[in-house]
Amino acid sequence: MTLDLSMKVPREIKRGWERRFPDLSGKWTHWKITGAGKFIAVVDGADLLGALKIVEDNYGRYITIKASRATVNEHGQLKDEEVGLF
């Protein structure tokens, strides 16, 4: 038996989260998600639902969660730009 410590986030709190993700245009193809400055994940811009799930899964673990626009270059390195704050 496993113990699920995840927090159920109320719908009122989640409302509008998708609008807080920076727009991906031009060369920007990914979001880098961080919690209180610590790396959480990199998500392809085509997977908004996956990005929202990561934010929900980490809600309450960090004081802030940020999504930055990013690209993945041929070496897998990321470049960040504008920041959205949850």
pLDDT tens per residue, range 27-84: 889 999 999 999 999 999 999 999 999 999 999 999 999 998 999 888 877 876 665 5
Predicted model pTM:
0.79
d(CA 54, CA 73): 23
Largest CA distance in the chain: 47
Note whether 33 and 51 are within 8 A (CB): yes
Hey, CA dihedral for 28, 29, 33, 39, is it positive or negative?
A: negative
What residue segments make up the domains of the chain, in order of their start?
Answer: 27-85
